[in-house]
Amino acid sequence: MNSFGSRLRYSTFGESHGVAIGCLLDGVPAGLKIDEAFIQSELDRRKPGKSEFETARKEDDKVEILSGTFEGYSTGTPIAMLIYNTNQKSKDYSNIKDIFRPGHADFTYFHKYGIRDYRGGGRSSARETAARVAAGAIAKLMLNELSIEVKSGISEVAGIKADIFDYESAKESIIYALDASKESAQKAAILKAKNSHDSVGGVSRIIIKNAPIGLGQPLYYKLDGVLADAMMGLNAVKAVEIGDGILSASIEGSQNNDEIRADGFKTNHSGGVLGGISNGEDIILNVYFKPTPSIFKEQETVTTTNKEVNFSLKGRHDPCVAIRGSIVCEAMAALVIADMLLLNMGSTMSGIKKYY
């Protein structure tokens, strides 16, 4: 299954070492100004090879819009976007042609489909996430028109946690660090892992500002449920928290409840969602990424014929996938919120009458 969303629905295609990747975004209302420079700038934030904290694979990730726009505006028809792969080095993968990388999707893809696209992991590679960022950029353009903002940053690397969440300083940081006072320790942890041929995990924190009350379609398309689905479906994500998340299970109701005053909620432990519906507060998520599975230390594994082997990987990999992953989380969050906005328009008879 390669599609996501309901009223705003996108599908992606392409493999890591194929000709191109891309997406088809359906449901964008006509008349949205399509700022191509903005879409490209979002892709540039995710693209690999920008620093020593990322994979050395250098991709321009230049996006081409093939359909769905006319004279700079959306036409209400499907928007197709294409990004060519230009920097594949399939030779890097020839030594793992028949070998399953521990922690990667090689093992399960092979056993499920019986075909092994060993070049960069094929469709299982996070190369596909560039297409999500292109679709998410269009969702962001929709949200901008309603003053809804989606921002992200890195709150944790290798267990080194941010104490403050400054989304403006995160924009200036090469690792999108939310807490400038923790940035150098977080960078050092990434480089230490990289230099010892290993990798580290991290946490991305997402904030959605100015979302109206009422987003989310209970019971089976709740806002928190769909956001969690969007994030968990992303490569290497192992947990998602909404608001205080895991902490909520170990505190008392009086500590967890957000008391309500005439001018709004006094606190925001809920992360802006109650009963699967946005409550007008900031929507907050923490997305937990595991360490990159492709590491260069010698490891034990088996071949496609189940022969036990020791191997050392070659190639180019992110030492901490949470960094670039954070930008993809933003895109996914924007797509979910835009979808929920469109769905919510049919929630009440009075709303429908207002439109017609």
For residues 128-147, which are near ligand FMN according to CB under 6 A?
Answer: 129
Residue from the set 325, 330, 332, 344 that interacts with ligand FMN by CB under 6 A: 325
Please state the residue numbers annotated as binding site for NADP(+). 46
CA angle (68, 69, 75) in 5-degree steps: 75
For the beta carbon of residue 206, count every other beta carbon within 10 angstroms: 25
**Binding of residue 235 to ligand FMN (CB under 6 A):** yes
Contact mark string toward ligand FMN, 264..293, x via CB under 6 A: --------------------------x-xx
- Shortest Cβ distance from residue 10 to ligand FMN (Å)? 17
Count the residues of the shown chain that bind ligand FMN, applying the rule CB under 6 A: 20
- Could you tell me the maximum CA-CA distance found in the chain, to the nearest angstrom? 67
Phi-psi region of 72 (alpha: psi -120 to 50; beta: other; left: phi over 0): left
Rounded to 5 degrees, what are φ and ψ at 60?
Answer: -75, -30
Please state the residue numbers annotated as binding site. 46, 123-125, 235-236, 275, 290-294, 316
Taking CB atoms, the residue at the shortest distance from ligand FMN is: 294
For residues 3-32, which are near ligand FMN according to CB under 6 A?
Answer: none
**Binding of residue 154 to ligand FMN (CB under 6 A):** no
Q: Which is nearer to ligand FMN, 43 or 277 (CB)?
A: 43
279 closest CA partner among 347, 215, 220: 215
Residue range at the interface with ligand FMN (CB under 6 A); choices 15-23, 266-274, 321-329, 341-349: 321-329
CA distance 215 to 338: 10
CA distance 209 to 189: 31
ω into 343 cis (within 30 of 0): no
Q: Which is nearer to ligand FMN, 93 or 278 (CB)?
A: 93
- Shortest Cβ distance from residue 99 to ligand FMN (Å)? 13
Output the CA–CA distances (angstroms, integers) from residue 98 to 67, 297, 341, in the order listed.
39, 18, 46
For residues 70-109, which are near ligand FMN according to CB under 6 A?
Answer: 104-105
**Binding of residue 320 to ligand FMN (CB under 6 A):** no
- Shortest Cβ distance from residue 295 to ligand FMN (Å)? 8
- Shortest Cβ distance from residue 63 to ligand FMN (Å)? 17
For the beta carbon of residue 174, count every other beta carbon within 10 angstroms: 13
For residues 265 and 213, is the Cβ–Cβ distance under 8 A? Answer: no
Structure letter (DSSP) for residue 17: T
- Shortest Cβ distance from residue 84 to ligand FMN (Å)? 18
Identity (one letter) of the amino acid at 345? M
In three-state secondary structure terms, 241 is strand
Residues that bind ligand FMN (CB under 6 A): 55, 104-105, 124-126, 129, 234-236, 290, 292-294, 317-318, 321, 324-325, 328
